[in-house]
A and B are shown apart, each in its own frame.
Chain A
Amino acid sequence: MNKRILVVEDQEDNRRIVRDLLTSVGFDLIEATTGEEGVRQAEIHRPDLILMDIQMPVLDGYEATRQIKSKAELRHIPIIVVTSYALSGDEAKASAAGADAYVAKPFSPRDLLATIKRFIS
């Protein structure tokens, strides 16, 4: 069975890049375009990994991460946060929210893949 990755990202292009990359290496993808949808999809599908964009309207990535990590049945899912590195302290905020790793935008898809592979194969 293929491992499933939930991608929470509001930008079309970024989502496509991740989709094309991850599907080509054999992952199944679940997509969400807002933080709330992301939390919902996580509950429904219980993915093996979550890729969480930070800069999203309404519910931002940190809050969505916090919410997912606060649910007992979802806590075990590794979350990789994708930040824009606008301000130092993004890393600290990410770990404070409970993220397991972070990647800076713009990311090299190869590097992203390497980080994902740290958590699931």
Chain B
Amino acid sequence: MTFLASWTRSNSITNGLIDWVARIPARVQTKLLIAFLTIVILLIILGAVGLQVLSGVNEQTQELIKLQRKIAAYRQVQHDTTKQLYNISTALVLTDDRMLDSALRQLSQFGYDLDRLEFVAKDEAELLGQVRLQYNQFVNVVTQVVEFVRSGRMAEAREIQLAQSVPLADRLERLTNQLVNIAEADMVAAIETTEQAHRTSRLMVAVFALGSILLALGLGYVISWSLIKPVKEIEARLAQIAAGEFKQRIQVANRDELGTLAADVNRTSEELGHLYQQLATASRHKSEFLANTSHELRTPLNAILGYTELIQDNIYGAVPDKIREILDRVQSNGRHLLGLINDVLDLSKIEAGQFNLAITNYSLKEVVQTVVTSTGSLAAEKKLALKASISEALPSGKGDERRITQALLNLVGNAIKFTEQGEVCIQAAAANGVFQVAVTDTGPGIQIEDQKRIFEEFQQVDTSSTRKKGGTGLGLSISRKIIELHGGRLWVESELGKGSTFRFTLPVAPDTREI
């Protein structure tokens, strides 16, 4: 079918026809109905033609039957005439009374024959006239013969018989033969005509049937293509739109519902194009805002922290202890402020959907070691033991090293912050293509009711105690977001009074759904 389709599609006449049908401003339903109706009408016409032909055949048959009856009538006349002769001859020979009566009866029978003949052969009036004439004479002669035989005048009877009955009978026979010949000739002609008619009607029916089939097929083809073509174009266009291409427009010849559909698809494409533009612009604005805000906020802090550090390093001269102590506080506050700003900026990015990961290869071992180094002094200050137990054969991971470090730093920092005595332990292992990390502390533990809450933004275990501890309450929710963006999970296992363990899993090579 596709071969046929491609062969005919290259034909511009069919194309023109298809387009012409498509352009008809009628509903699709109407077009289909008209197509089916046309086919039904063709069938009806075909039936009518067939019936017509059949009735013609019937007429021919009737003609033939009539002719056959004619011939039968003529033969009957011949037969009876012969019988008459035979009877009279027998009567003459036998001079039997019974025979004579039978002969007379025959004559009246003969009358019926003639009547029938006249009924059947109405068109051979002249010949029939002659037959009747001869017959009347014959009747007279036979009656006379019978009379002579009855009255014993055998010689006269024989004479009349020979002189008149026989020749009359001959003449009758010749006339009826003529009639028969005519009838038979007619019959032959009639058969010939019937055969001819049969051939003609066969041809007519065949031609008509073929014509109807071709018309029906052609109509079906043209109409179906006039409907399919736009559907295909619409389908192709929609596939493009689904792939993000909004610029093109489709051209469709149809002026029916499919034409409307195509116009709608075009409008949709345009709308989507606009929306996409707006979205892209909005996204760009968000990115620019975040970049600017980040820069604006960090710049003065950079100055504050930078200068204090330089002072502490004695770049501007020796620093008395008392001032040094104060400077430490200035610095730690500055760092704290920096932490808050970073958290808030990260949160804005998450909210804006701009929190993207920079995927590189990293070593989990190095990440843990970085965190240990960073938090070592903090732990030491609170006299906590900081331990790390790292599995030996850790595979190389794929992810955003900076963010993963940030998350782990947050967890360890929290552990140290909330633990007053004992230790903080970091474990790192890998199994089944997944990193498994745990941060365990010997702190106060977290109640079941709070265990879910703490991962939510702005939530901390207890606002009074944490005002002492500091923090924005954003760290855990950001850490969780980081882990989840990598395809992992972060959760806590804890009991009040028995410390806490924060665990997370991280696929070694996540299929990146971000960026």
A residues apposed to B, CB below 8 Å = 11, 13-14, 17, 20-21, 24, 55, 84-89, 91-92, 105-110
Contact A86 B358, beta carbon cutoff 8 Å: no
Contact with A along B409-449 (1 / 0, CB 8 A): 00000000000000000000000000000000000000000
- 10 A-B contacts (beta carbon < 8 Å): A13-B303, A17-B306, A84-B295, A84-B299, A86-B294, A87-B354, A87-B356, A91-B358, A106-B306, A110-B313
Cα of A14 to Cα of B304 in the assembled complex, Å: 10
Beta-carbon contact of B307 and A87 below 8 Å? no
Residues on B with beta carbons closer than 8 Å to the beta carbon of A20: 310, 315-316
- Contact call B338/A86, Cβ cutoff below 8 A: no
Pair B309/A109 contact, Cβ less than 8 Å: yes
Instruction: Assign chain B's interface to a size class.
Output: 20 to 34
Residue of B nearest to A108 (CB): B309
What CA separation (Å) do A23 and B357 show in the bound complex? 38
Choose one: B303, B307, B316, B358; the contact of A89 (CB below 8 Å): B358
Is the beta-carbon distance between B309 and A88 smaller than 8 angstroms?
A: no
Q: How far is the CB of B392 from chain A (nearest CB, A)?
A: 29
Inter-chain contact A55/B403, CB cutoff 8 Å = no
Contact of A109 among B306, B358, B403 (CB under 8 A): B306
A17, A89, A107, most chain B CB atoms within 10 A: A17
Q: How far is the CA of A20 from the CA of B294 in the complex (A)?
A: 25
* Min CB–CB distance A95 → chain B (angstroms): 11
- The proximity string for B residues 332-376 relative to A, scoring 1 for CB distances below 8 Å and 0 otherwise, is 000000100000010000000010111000000000000000000
Q: Are A106 and B358 in contact (CB under 8 A)?
A: no
Give A94 Cβ to nearest chain B Cβ, in Å: 11
Partner of A55, one of B295, B315, B356, B357: B295
Of A11, A24, A88, A107, which one neighbours B357 at CB under 8 angstroms? A88
CB within 8 Å for A14 and B354 given contacts A21-B315, A86-B295, A106-B338: no
Contact in complex: A87, B287 (CB < 8 Å): yes
CB neighbours of A91 from chain B (8 A): 358
**Residue B290 lies at the interface, judged by CB distance under 8 Å to chain A:** yes
Q: Is the CB of A24 within 8 A of B306?
A: no
Q: Which residues of B contact A88 (CB under 8 A)?
A: 356-358, 400, 402-403
* Contact, CB under 8 Å: B287 / A109: no
The answer to whether A86 touches B290 (Cβ under 8 A) is yes
Smallest distance from the beta carbon of A99 to chain B beta carbons, Å? 15
Q: Which of A13, A87, A89, A110 contacts B309 (CB 8 A)?
A: A110
B510 to chain A, nearest CB (A): 15
Which of A89, A106, A109 gathers the greatest number of chain B CB atoms within 10 Å?
A: A106
Q: How far is the CB of B311 from chain A (nearest CB, A)?
A: 10
CA distance A84 to B354 in the complex (A): 16
Whether B298 sits at the interface, judged by CB under 8 Å, is: yes
A107 engages B290 (CB within 8 Å): no
Q: Mark B456-482, 1 if CB is under 8 A from A, else 0.
A: 000000000000000000000000000
Contact check: which of B306, B316, B338, B403 meets A14 at CB < 8 Å?
Answer: B306
**Which residues of chain A are near B290, meaning CB under 8 Å?**
86-87
B241 at the A interface (CB under 8 A): no
| In the assembled complex, B272 has its CB within 8 A of some CB on chain A | no
Q: Please, which residues of chain A bring their CB within 8 A of the CB of B306?
A: 13-14, 17, 106-109
Known: A17-B307, A106-B302, A107-B302. A89 touches B315 (CB 8 A): no
Task: Mark contacts of B378-411 with chain A using CB atoms, 8 A cut-off: 1 yes-contact digit, 0 otherwise.
Answer: 0000000000000000000000101100000000
Q: Is the CB of A105 within 8 A of B299?
A: yes
In the complex, how many angstroms separate the beta carbon of B57 from the nearest chain A beta carbon? 92
- B294 in contact with A109 (CB, 8 Å): no
CB of A108 within 8 A of CB of B305, answer: yes
| B509 interface residue (CB < 8 Å to A) | no
Closest 7 CB pairs of A and B: A106-B302, A13-B303, A86-B294, A17-B306, A88-B358, A86-B291, A24-B315
Q: A86-B294, A109-B306 are in contact. Are A14 and B356 (CB under 8 A)?
A: no
A38 to B307 Cα, complex, angstroms: 24
The residue on B at minimum CB distance from A92 is B358
Could you tell me the distance between the alpha carbons of A17 and B354 in the complex, rounded to whole angstroms?
Answer: 32
Known: A17-B310, A84-B295, A86-B345. 18 other contacts (CB 8 A): A13-B299, A13-B303, A14-B303, A20-B310, A21-B310, A21-B315, A55-B291, A86-B291, A86-B294, A87-B354, A88-B403, A105-B302, A106-B306, A106-B338, A108-B305, A108-B306, A109-B306, A110-B309
- When C-beta atoms are compared, the residue in chain B nearest to A12 turns out to be B303
CB neighbours (8 Å) of B216 from chain A are none
Q: Which of B294, B305, B315 contacts A85 (CB 8 A)?
A: B294
Nearest Cβ on chain B to A103's Cβ, whole angstroms: 11
Q: Which residue of A lies closest to B349 (CB)?
A: A87
